[in-house]
Amino acid sequence: MAISDPTHSSQTPEPGAVPPARAGQIDASLKTPVLFFFACAVLWLLLGSALGVISAIKLHAPEFLGNVEALTFGRTRSMHLNIVAYGWTFNGVFGISLWLMHRLGRVELRNGWVAILGGGLWNVAVALGIGGILLGKMTSVEWLEMPKEVAPLLAVAFLLIGTWNVVGFARRAPGHVYVSQWYIIAAMFWLPMLYCVAEMMILWFPARGTVQAITNWWFAHNVLGLWMTPVGVAAMYYLIPKVLGKPIHSYYLSIIGFWSLALFYNWAGVHHLIGGPIPVWAQSAGIVASIMMVVPVLVTAINFHTTTYGKENWRIIWNSPTLRFVVFGAFNYTLSSFAGSAMALREVNRVTHFTNFTVGHAHHGMYAFVAMVYFGAMYFIMPRLLGREWPSAALIKIHFWLTAGGIFFYVLVMSIHGILQGMAMNDATTPFLEISRNAMVWNGLRTAGGTAMTLGHVAFAVHFFWMLRGSAASRRRTAPTLFSSAVPVEGGAR
Amino acid sequence: MKNLPLIFCGVFFTIAFSWTGLILTSQIQYGRLERATASEDETTLYPLQMSGAAIRGKDVYIAQGCLYCHTQQVRPRHQGGDIERGWGQRYTVARDYILQERVLLGTMRTGPDLADIGTRQKSDEWHYQHLFDPQLTSPGSVMPPFRFLFEQVPVGETVRMDAIKLPADYAFAPRPGFQWVPRQEASDLVQYLHSLRLNYNSPESRLEE
């Protein structure tokens, strides 16, 4: 059962099997599609963060772009969410999952042009959808704001891209299937089912009354839980042992983690409707599932944190750009998931529901975990695709400190403010306008956190396109770009 | 668990399980809920149908994204201070939403809940001032202005009934000889807000005295 190396380099192919393609050839076949997805992801990230900052400013300066209809708060906030979700994260998932799936399966990507075609269609559809929000065609259904007409385009595009992960898995070289492959293949099936059901039951053929709301949060929570999280966890399961050069603590635990996540995450989304006009049994089911999420999170946490524990490991983690981001993400996966379980308890929810605490929590999961792991994965994958190194360790450092510091500050501010806000709202003697006025300072701090992250993204984007263009600095480097040159360079420790 | 069909079955089962458990079961339980009378001696069925203007106003509410700061749901007393705060005389239940093609419960309260705003604030004038510039009615509010839902028209012989009353020396005063009046969208939106009322008993939730 135990498996030491996710690439199975030590395993000998079964007799008669086709010899696995060499890593270089696999990377060559993936180069154009994965780079295309990453480039799109980075561009969407810049636009999405700018809209996030604009939205944040509006929450303490309501006259800022106040009278521009296309940029009223409801729309900038929705554009921000849809761009970072469908633009940045989805493109990130496409790139990372294709690379992991083919590297782990030790096969080349065939017909990469179909994936690029799908990627083009996907990004055009997202752009149309964002344009729709801008021009007032927004649906006001959370996580499904884009006009329903773009849904078929997104579905076709997804089919053209996602299929290659399934094909890649089916064509894998003989040998053990690693847990990362499970997570990716599951995500590729889950997302289209979630999306089609939600589009149908909410926008195309609306269900009656609040059945829509249940569908909405079943979908929205599962986009994070069954799409972005599995690919993030898959990347962590690959990158942590790979860069550390040691096996994952317990492969057996990872299997328990996978199935318990599949079982419990599915039901947890209803916790967004606690106290709402839906049957109480449904709320209770959501609460129970949210608490049960402790199981997969604890199991995964034990696995990651035990693998990374140790003085020597910490030195490698601290010096590897990939692991610094990925391990930061792993910690925050644990923290934000436990916080999420706690928030589903009625006593806690009574205060945190409808406040900035929830918004902070959403960013904790989507950014401090998902985005940071995706950054780490990109730092690992890019040099392998391009055959050259990242040009500047300093830019990676700037990226890390601005994003890690920014999100830490943001979540802290939002959590404290959320609790104050929730307690004040539950105290009927506090006038609502007083709560509004008190929010201004906190929202100002929130803008500061968001601005730091956005500046970090600018540093990342500059670095990304600098590397893509093939700077002299990046060609000159012969060893991986690490934070400290004093560290002995190990196998793939970037 | 090495082969694709088996993984697919497991993945499909888990999602089908939650869909059946949460969504299909809810649909079976209350997907065909009908309007009901408030009490046995009454004949009016609730919730009421919305007027045409209110339905158009709801589209404005959706397009401007009001939902992102305003919820439309009142939690029971044990689950929050909504009723104490005067946001409704009873908690909302599933039946209240059965006529809505798009349900706008919301998840964030940057602004107050609006499930019962039609009972709480009946004045057109207040709503127009508030939409035009929230600072006029609610100093310190973080709500953005919606001046683009208004237009300037010549005063002419009479001041229009719906012209916004503005203080002297006001930053966004109309040009001389003009007045600010709501465009169709603004008046529809206000009609929609008036239609949001939680002033009837439901078989599942009764108004508190």
Tell me: the pLDDT tens digits for B83-102? 999 999 999 999 999 999 99
Residue A223 C-alpha, separation from nearest chain B C-alpha, in angstroms: 12
Query: Are the Cβ atoms of A72 and B104 closer than 8 angstroms?
Result: no
Radius of gyration of the CA atoms of chain A, in A: 22
Query: Are the Cβ atoms of A73 and B104 closer than 8 angstroms?
Result: no
Residue B39 is assigned to a structural domain of this protein:
no
- Looking at residues A427-450, what average pLDDT do you find? 97
d(CA A297, CA A331): 11
Closest chain B CA to residue A215: B23
Range of the domain at B190: 44-195
Count of CB atoms within 10 A of residue A24's CB? 10
Contact list, A201 vs chain B (CB under 8 Å):
23
Q: Which letter, b or e, does each residue of B15-52 get, where b requires 16 or more Cβ atoms within 10 Å of its Cβ? A: beebbebbbebbbeebbebeebebeeeeeeebbeebee
The values of phi and psi at residue B77, to 5°, are -55, -40
* A147-189: pLDDT as tens digits: 999 999 999 999 999 999 999 999 998 888 899 999 999 999 9
Residue B168 C-alpha, separation from nearest chain A C-alpha, in angstroms: 20
Query: How confident is residue A22, by pLDDT bands cut at 50, 70 and 90?
Result: confident
**What is the reported pLDDT for B157?**
76
Residue B87 is assigned to a structural domain of this protein:
yes
The CATH fold assigned to A23-476 is Cytochrome C Oxidase; Chain A (1.20.210)
Provide CB contacts within 8 A for A39, sequence distance 6+: A464, A465, A468
Using CB atoms, which residue from A136, A190, A349 is nearest to B63?
A136
Query: Are the Cβ atoms of A170 and B105 closer than 8 angstroms?
Result: no
**What is the reported pLDDT for A232?**
97
Residue B203 is assigned to a structural domain of this protein:
no
d(CA A127, CA A365): 25
Same domain? B63 vs B107: yes
Of residues B155 and B57, the one with the higher pLDDT is: B57
Query: Are the Cβ atoms of A140 and B100 closer than 8 angstroms?
Result: no
| Phi-psi group of A245: left, alpha or beta (phi > 0 → left; psi -120 to 50 → alpha; rest → beta) | left
Query: Are the Cβ atoms of A279 and B98 closer than 8 angstroms?
Result: no
Same domain? B52 vs B18: no
Strands B150-154 and B178-182: antiparallel
Contact list, A206 vs chain B (CB under 8 Å):
101-102
Bridge partner residues of B151 (DSSP)? B181
Using CB atoms, which residue from A72, A197, A206 is nearest to B144?
A72
Mutation target to probe the A interface, by most A beta carbons within 10 A, among B26, B74, B196 is: B26
Query: Are the Cβ atoms of A433 and B11 closer than 8 angstroms?
Result: no
* A188-217: pLDDT as tens digits: 999 999 999 999 999 999 999 999 999 999
Contact list, A285 vs chain B (CB under 8 Å):
21-22
Query: Are the Cβ atoms of B11 and A190 closer than 8 angstroms?
Result: yes
- Per domain, the residue ranges of chain A are 23-476
Same domain? B79 vs B139: yes
Residue B8 is assigned to a structural domain of this protein:
yes
Same domain? B119 vs B148: yes
Contact list, A67 vs chain B (CB under 8 Å):
145, 147-148
Bridge partner residues of B205 (DSSP)? B202
Identify residue A21 by its one-letter amino acid code: A
* A262-311: pLDDT as tens digits: 999 999 999 999 999 999 999 999 999 999 999 999 999 999 999 999 99
B64: three-class secondary structure by DSSP? helix
Residue A65 C-alpha, separation from nearest chain B C-alpha, in angstroms: 9
**What is the reported pLDDT for A493?**
42
Could you report how far apart the first and last alpha carbons of chain A are, in Å? Answer: 28
Contact indicator for A144, A216 with CB cutoff of 8 Å:
yes
Using CB atoms, which residue from B26, B30, B67 is nearest to A140?
B67
Could you tell me the two tokens for A321? 């750009």
Provide CB contacts within 8 A for A311, sequence distance 6+: none
* A119-143: pLDDT as tens digits: 999 999 999 999 999 999 999 999 9
Query: Are the Cβ atoms of A59 and B104 closer than 8 angstroms?
Result: no
Side-chain half-sphere CA neighbours of A385 within 13 A: 26
**What is the reported pLDDT for A21?**
62
Contact list, A436 vs chain B (CB under 8 Å):
110-111, 138, 140-142
Query: Are the Cβ atoms of A262 and B11 closer than 8 angstroms?
Result: yes
Q: What is the ipTM of this complex?
A: 0.95
Bridge partner residues of B152 (DSSP)? B180
Closest chain B CA to residue A272: B107
CATH of the domain at B82: 1.10.760.10
Using CB atoms, which residue from B7, B109, B148 is nearest to A354?
B109
- Looking at residues A428-448, what average pLDDT do you find? 97
Query: Are the Cβ atoms of B15 and A190 closer than 8 angstroms?
Result: yes
Contact indicator for A376, A317 with CB cutoff of 8 Å:
no
**Nearest-CA neighbor of B85 among B72, B96, B75?**
B75
Using CB atoms, which residue from A279, A346, A440 is nearest to B26?
A279
Same domain? B136 vs B164: yes
d(CA A129, CA A133): 6
Contact list, B29 vs chain A (CB under 8 Å):
279
- CA torsion B12-B16-B17-B20 (nearest 10°) is -170
Query: Are the Cβ atoms of B79 and A274 closer than 8 angstroms?
Result: yes
Query: How confident is residue A20, by pLDDT bands cut at 50, 70 and 90?
Result: low
Contact list, B134 vs chain A (CB under 8 Å):
62
Same domain? B74 vs B146: yes
d(CA A253, CA A55): 41
Count of CB atoms within 10 A of residue A208's CB? 20
Closest chain B CA to residue A186: B11
Same domain? B109 vs B9: no
Place of tokens 């604009």: A54
Count of CB atoms within 10 A of residue A284's CB? 13
**What is the reported pLDDT for A13?**
39
Using CB atoms, which residue from A263, A276, A436 is nearest to B14?
A263
Using CB atoms, which residue from B84, B94, B139 is nearest to A428?
B84
Query: Are the Cβ atoms of A279 and B94 closer than 8 angstroms?
Result: yes
Query: Are the Cβ atoms of A266 and B26 closer than 8 angstroms?
Result: no
Distances (CA, A) of A69 to A285, B57, B145, B153: 40, 16, 10, 20
How large is the angle between the packed helices A90-105 and A23-58, nearest 10 degrees? 160
**What is the reported pLDDT for A6?**
45
The alpha carbon of residue A49 and the mean position of all alpha carbons in its chain are separated, in whole angstroms, by 14
Closest chain B CA to residue A77: B68
Distances (CA, A) of A116 to A36, A44, A46, A154, A451: 7, 17, 21, 14, 32
d(CA A145, CA A137): 9
Residue A404 burial (CB < 10 Å; 0-12/13-18/19+)? Answer: buried
**What is the reported pLDDT for A72?**
97
Residue B112 is assigned to a structural domain of this protein:
yes
ω into A20 cis (within 30 of 0): no
Same domain? B144 vs B51: yes
| Residue percentage of chain A with pLDDT more than 90 | 88
Q: H/E/C letters for each residue in chain A? A: CCCCCCCCCCCCCCCCCCCCCCHHHHHHHHHHHHHHHHHHHHHHHHHHHHHHHHHHHHCCCCCCCCCCHHHCHHHHHHHHHHHHHHHHHHHHHHHHHHHHHHHHHCCCCCCHHHHHHHHHHHHHHHHHHHHHHHCCCCCCCCCCCCCHHHHHHHHHHHHHHHHHHHHHHHCCCCCCCCHHHHHHHHHHHHHHHHHHHHHHHHHHCCCCCCHHHHHHHHHHHHHHHHHHHHHHHHHHHHHHHHHHCCCCCCHHHHHHHHHHHHHHHHHHHHHHHCCCCCCHHHHHHHHHHHHHCHHHHHHHHHHHHHHHCCHHHHHHHHHCHHHHHHHHHHHHHHHHHHHHHHHCCHHHHHHHCECHHHHHHHHHHHHHHHHHHHHHHHHHHHHHHHCCCCCCHHHHHHHHHHHHHHHHHHHHHHHHHHHHHHHHHHCCCCCHHHHHHHHHHHHHHHHHHHHHHHHHHHHHHHHHHHHHHCCHHHHHCCCCCCCCCCCCCCCCCC
Same domain? B25 vs B80: no
d(CA A237, CA A226): 16
Same domain? B14 vs B111: no
Could you tell me the two tokens for A71? 């940029």
Side-chain half-sphere CA neighbours of A262 within 13 A: 25
Closest chain B CA to residue A182: B7
Contact list, B15 vs chain A (CB under 8 Å):
190, 193-194, 222, 226, 266
Identify residue A186 by its one-letter amino acid code: A
Same domain? B54 vs B28: no
Per DSSP, helices labelled H in B31-116 are: 52-64
Could you tell me the two tokens for A436? 């509004």
Same domain? B104 vs B68: yes
How many interface pairs between A and B have CB atoms less than 8 angstroms apart? Answer: 222
Could you tell me the two tokens for B66? 């009001």
Is residue B209 predicted with pLDDT exceeding 90? no
Contact list, B111 vs chain A (CB under 8 Å):
432, 436
Query: Are the Cβ atoms of A137 and B63 closer than 8 angstroms?
Result: yes
Contact indicator for A87, A123 with CB cutoff of 8 Å:
yes
* A68-125: pLDDT as tens digits: 999 999 999 999 999 999 999 999 999 999 999 999 999 999 999 999 999 999 999 9
**What is the reported pLDDT for A16?**
40
